[in-house]
Amino acid sequence: MTEPPLLQVANLDVSFLQRGGGVTHAVRNVSFALGRERLAIVGESGSGKSTVGRAMLGLVPRPGVVTANRIAFDGIDLRSLSPRQWRQYRGRRISMVMQDPKYSLNPVKKIGAQIMETYSLHRRGGAGQARRHALEMLEAVRIRDPDLVFDAYPHQLSGGMGQRVMIAMMLIAEPDLLIADEPTSALDVTVQNQVLRILDDLVAQRGMALIFISHNLTIVSSFCDRVLVMYAGRIVEECDARHLHLARHPYTQALVAAAPEIDRPKAELLTVQRDPAWLT
Amino acid sequence: MTAGSRTIEPSGLVSVRRWLADEAPRSAAQAFFGKTWRGAMALSGNPAALAGFVIVVALALAALCAPWLAGGASPLTQDLAHRLAPPSSASWFGTDELGRDIYARTLFGARATLTIVALVAAIVAPIGLVVGTVAGYLGGWVDAVLMRITDIFLAFPRLILALAFAAALGPGLENAVIAIALTSWPSYARVARAETVTIARSDFIAAMVLLGAPTWRILLRHIAPLCLSSVIVRLTLDMAGIIITAAGLGFLGLGQQPPAPEWGAMVSSGRSVILDQWWVSTIPGIAIFLASLGFNLLGDGLRDLTDPKNL
Amino acid sequence: MSSRDERVSLSVVADSAPVGLRLAGQGALLVASLALTCLGLTCVTFFIGRFIRADPVLAVVGDHATRDVYDKARLAMGLDKPVVEQYLIYLKKVLSGDFGHSVMTSQSVLSDLLRFFPATFELATIATIIAVVVGVPAGVAAGANRGRWPDHLVRIVSLFGYSMPVFWLGLVALFLLYGKLGWVAGPGRLDVGYDDIVTPVTGVILIDSAVAGEWDVFRNALSHLVLPASILGYIGLAYIARMTRSFMIDQMSQEYIVAARIKGRSEWGIVWAHAFPNVLVPLITVVGLAYASFLEGAILTETVFAWPGLGLYITQSLFNADMNAVLGGTLVVGVVFIGINLTCDFLYRLADPRLRAP
């Protein structure tokens, strides 16, 4: 890692003000750096991992307040971007693949139009060129009949196809950083691997940085280079994906131990015993 | 019960508050009052709903205490020497074409409005609850037939049917009430049925059936009370429309008959002199508007309270 | 949900057959609903006419008729027959357009209704146009700017519209804008001098005068139409703006909106190119419902503005105790109202994306 990190986050805090007056800290004091590598952020629901991803795109929903000592992407301070500047970054330099294509694709627009939209927003060239690129992307995500899918509506696609369309839509403008927010969680297990492989190939081909957000430690350990484990808004562990079994924090150890193994069946699966000390 | 609160309350109030706020109520009464109190607290945080509540209370007060609030002035006394007088210190809202004090008539007119609202509510809520709960609970062909009938009535045009009914029944307050009630009950049946269908699948209903409780008892004692809150919210929101429909009927001469004051009829009687003596029609209309507004605000607030989406 | 990935090739083709059948089935259901509901309406009008009214015979022969005349009239009206038979006779008459005679105009109720309908149609249509042109953008602005001033403004204006009696608003507007300011023309459709210039073809003065090239008449008619249509339109736009706002709020909280933001789309583009198209179909049904409600609301508006439409006809018949006309008018307006309502409900359910997915 001789080049400066692509993304640098220092002391990220996201809080949501409640109506009664209380404050929920979704993300506390999160710091990490990312180069052209694959970083996984792992945690259970409510750990704040998705919020970190959204904060990178400036898309934390309204009652949320984002503060940080530093959020720098390729040297640019993301904390002080105007809405107009954000629009130049989103889709073009940083992009996100969302969880469920059933909800993240516009139901009344054709697939082709939705993919072309990203292209037209960031690259010059007429509709013809946009259409060509969109069809190329559909082939890149291994859709067998790109022309048919181009004119189809989202509800006509299966989950796996929809997610591949989502990937095509978000990668067509060739971003440097891709955030994948639980990209396979809504898919059948048999389809998950296919989609992961496509993601793998595309990320490798284009030399993109990847932040892979998931609750599935098993997927992450084989797919990513480094792992950040989050619990209750904080990072409790940061280590190499290959060295997860050497994790030091009891939460990570419990997660690793709880994962079932097919060649070493256990009589009783372990569950995580939470220690309130982890909240500090 | 926030730490550091400085108010000193008498110990009696403190214990009442604690009893209401208890998270584990020990009796049905405590649960009911606790829920009501919590709802009232939440409602008071919503300024619009609070304003609505104040208006509704003011309406009730005007109706009940009209004789005192009017300061002894009668809504019926004619004074032809001072007819069509503009608002002044003598008569705050002026006088109408027969010299009657409009301020007094507006206050007493609240009685007609409140009567209609209360009577219609008293008629449609039970009918709607009965039809809805029976249809939702029994299901099958009973449900199909009842809902068909409800749907047919729902598709009817409200005002014009109320008009036809009132026209045939003849003018009068009671007939106006019947006409409006006949065209309003369907939406409550729908609401009650929707709630009943979800409740009927619950375990505690199954338990009651196993214990051998008769259907009418299950419906009356267990299902109906649970539908009540949705029906009440619906009712409050509909009140605004009912007030306007009733005023419309009054405007056409079909409501409360003269000489007793009724806001819609008062607007109508001032029609011929609207260009010069604007207050005769305008002021009773403002009363109708405020009453309707009050129920709308209150109803919106109640709906925000009970809506699971909440905001 | 099948895990087979190449379902697209299958579903694009296989979809059309079931959808077509489903449409036909739903369409048949709609027609059946319409028929049943209108039948129900005729039951109600029959019931009102025969049983609630004091004495239908007296209404025809008058209070001072002799016993003989009374009995003869009773027989002639078929009141000695059993109820069901009376109803069937009534139904047959209604279906052939025989609503009886109007005591007030001495003509058949049907011809009266046909004569007065165009005025109401004109009023309701212009009011709907006003309500849509103002209400939809207002609702979109409110829904897309939730919690900010456009939202508050639209909510307040809507709330007022919901709470105002249309007859009072009409009167006050007439007093202010006609009586005091003279900005618009007074009650009625045309000033007296313009009455017979244009021969009625459609009955809609705006169309007839424009086609005949009589622009003076057109302008005069417009100046008379503007106020009642605006009053009615305001009440309608309160409803339309509120529903549009609600639909937009629902859509703006969807995941595909976030996806559009991620792509880098501008807020304006997101609101109009992404959220609004999803709102269109339920919106169209809402507009239909508003139109139907105008047919009703016109009753009071026409009374205030002396607008010679169905509403005025019904209320005048009311004052003259002309039950035939009242019931005939109720039936016609009722049927149109029911037709629009049920069709809109049907379209709404058809367009529900939850029903669309295979």
Whether residue A146 is found in the same domain as residue A204: no
With 90 as the cut, is the pLDDT of residue C196 above it? Answer: no
Other chains touching A, judged by 3 or more CB pairs under 8 Å: C
- Chain B neighbors of C297, CB-CB under 8 A: 159
CA distance C299 to C208: 24
In a domain, A109, yes or no: yes
Residues C144-179 as b/e (b if ≥16 CB within 10 A, e otherwise) read bbbeeebbeebbebbbbbbbbbbbbbbbbbbbebbe
**Mean pLDDT, chain A, integer:** 89
Mean pLDDT along residues C17-34: 78
How many domains are there within chain B? 1
In a domain, A2, yes or no: no
Please give the pLDDT value at position A213. Answer: 95
Residue of C nearest to A171 (CA): C263
With 50 as the cut, is the pLDDT of residue B185 above it? Answer: yes
Whether residue A56 is found in the same domain as residue A133: no
Please give the pLDDT value at position C130. Answer: 95
Whether residue A237 is found in the same domain as residue A149: no
In a domain, B300, yes or no: yes
Q: How confident is the model at residue B1 (pLDDT cuts 50, 70, 90)?
A: very low
Whether residue A29 is found in the same domain as residue A146: no
Please give the pLDDT value at position B72. Answer: 72
Instruction: Using the structure block, give the residue that is written with the tokens 């105008």.
Output: C294
Whether residue A89 is found in the same domain as residue A187: yes
Please give the pLDDT value at position C4. Answer: 39
In a domain, A20, yes or no: yes
Residue of C nearest to B285 (CA): C168
**Does C342 reach chain B within 8 Å, measured CB to CB?**
yes
In a domain, B194, yes or no: yes
- Chain B neighbors of C175, CB-CB under 8 A: 274-275, 278, 281-282
Please give the pLDDT value at position B131. Answer: 92
A51 or B305: which carries more pLDDT confidence? A51
Q: How far is CA C82 from the centre of its chain?
A: 36
With 60 as the cut, is the pLDDT of residue C2 above it? Answer: no
Mean pLDDT along residues C216-221: 86
In a domain, B286, yes or no: yes
Cα–Cα distances in angstroms (integers) from residue A72 to residues A29, A54, C262, in the given order:
16, 15, 18
Chain B nearest CA to C338, separation (Å): 6
Q: How confident is the model at residue C53 (pLDDT cuts 50, 70, 90)?
A: low
DSSP one-letter string for B4-51: T------HHHHHHHHHHH-SS-SSHHHHHHHHHHHHHHHHHT-HHHHH
Range of the domain at B81: 53-310
Contacts of B245 (CB under 8 A, 6+ apart): B158, B159, B162, B180
Asked if C261 and A90 come within 8 Å (Cβ–Cβ), the reply is yes
Tokens at residue A79, please? 């904390």
Please give the pLDDT value at position B310. Answer: 47
Closest CB from A104, A108, A161 relative to C278? A108
Question: Which of A122, A154, A174 lies at the terminal end of a domain, its last residue?
Answer: A174
Whether residue A170 is found in the same domain as residue A85: no
Asked if A106 and C264 come within 8 Å (Cβ–Cβ), the reply is no
In a domain, B167, yes or no: yes
- Chain C neighbors of A122, CB-CB under 8 A: 264
Chain B nearest CA to C49, separation (Å): 7
| pLDDT tens string A75-123 | 899 988 999 999 999 989 999 999 999 999 999 999 999 999 999 999 8
Please give the pLDDT value at position C17. Answer: 52
CA distance C305 to A192: 68
Whether residue A60 is found in the same domain as residue A157: no
With 50 as the cut, is the pLDDT of residue B50 above it? Answer: yes
With 50 as the cut, is the pLDDT of residue C357 above it? Answer: no
| pLDDT tens string A116-170 | 999 999 988 888 999 999 999 999 999 999 999 999 999 899 989 999 999 999 9
Mean pLDDT along residues B263-280: 88
Structure letter (DSSP) for residue A109:
S
- In Å, the largest CA–CA distance within chain C is 87
DSSP β-ladder status, A64-67 and A70-73: unpaired
Whether residue A224 is found in the same domain as residue A151: no
Question: Which of A174, A197, A219 lies at the terminal end of a domain, its last residue?
Answer: A174
Range of the domain at A111: 100-174
Whether residue A48 is found in the same domain as residue A146: no
With 90 as the cut, is the pLDDT of residue A244 above it? Answer: no
SS3 C115: helix
Tokens at residue C112, please? 């009266």
In a domain, B245, yes or no: yes
CA distance B195 to B224: 9
Instruction: Using the structure block, give the residue that is written with the tokens 């990072």.
Output: A235
SS3 C232: helix
Whether residue A168 is found in the same domain as residue A182: no
- Chain B neighbors of C172, CB-CB under 8 A: 278, 281-282, 285
Dihedral of CA A107/A112/A115/A116: which sign? Answer: negative
Asked if C274 and A96 come within 8 Å (Cβ–Cβ), the reply is no
Mean pLDDT along residues C61-77: 78
- Chain B neighbors of C298, CB-CB under 8 A: none
CA distance C297 to C303: 10
In a domain, B8, yes or no: no
Whether residue A117 is found in the same domain as residue A158: yes
CB contact at 8 A, A217 and A45:
no
Question: Which of A129, A152, A174 lies at the terminal end of a domain, its last residue?
Answer: A174
What's the complex ipTM? 0.90
**Does B190 reach chain C within 8 Å, measured CB to CB?**
no
Q: How confident is the model at residue C54 (pLDDT cuts 50, 70, 90)?
A: low
Q: Which range (A181-185, B137-141, C82-86) has the least confidence? A: C82-86
Nearest CA to C305 out of C192, C172, C208, C201 is that of C172
Please give the pLDDT value at position B8. Answer: 66
Mean pLDDT along residues C321-333: 86
CATH number of the CATH domain containing B260: 1.10.3720.10
Q: How confident is the model at residue B9 (pLDDT cuts 50, 70, 90)?
A: low
- Chain A neighbors of C3, CB-CB under 8 A: 158-160, 188, 190-191
B119 or B220: which carries more pLDDT confidence? B119
A212, β-bridge pairs? A40, A180
Nearest CA to C339 out of C25, C30, C6, C5 is that of C30
- Chain A neighbors of C255, CB-CB under 8 A: 98, 100, 103-104
Please give the pLDDT value at position C352. Answer: 58
Q: How confident is the model at residue C12 (pLDDT cuts 50, 70, 90)?
A: very low
Q: How far is CA A124 from the centre of its chain?
A: 27
Mean pLDDT along residues A8-19: 90
Could you tell me where the DSSP H helices lie in A123-226? 127-140, 146-150, 159-171, 189-206, 217-223
Chain B nearest CA to C10, separation (Å): 37
| pLDDT tens string C120-135 | 999 999 999 999 999 9
| pLDDT tens string C237-247 | 999 999 999 99
In a domain, A1, yes or no: no
**Alpha carbon distance, N-terminus to C-terminus of chain C:** 10
Asked if A155 and C263 come within 8 Å (Cβ–Cβ), the reply is no
Nearest CA to B153 out of B133, B173, B181, B172 is that of B181
Whether residue A204 is found in the same domain as residue A269: yes
HSE, side-chain direction, 13 A CA sphere, residue A18: 7
DSSP β-ladder status, A38-42 and A226-231: parallel
With 70 as the cut, is the pLDDT of residue B100 above it? Answer: yes
Mean pLDDT along residues C88-105: 83
Mean pLDDT along residues B36-44: 80
How many domains are there within chain A? 2
Q: How confident is the model at residue B124 (pLDDT cuts 50, 70, 90)?
A: very high
**Mean pLDDT, chain B, integer:** 84
Chain B nearest CA to C273, separation (Å): 25
CATH number of the CATH domain containing A42: 3.40.50.300
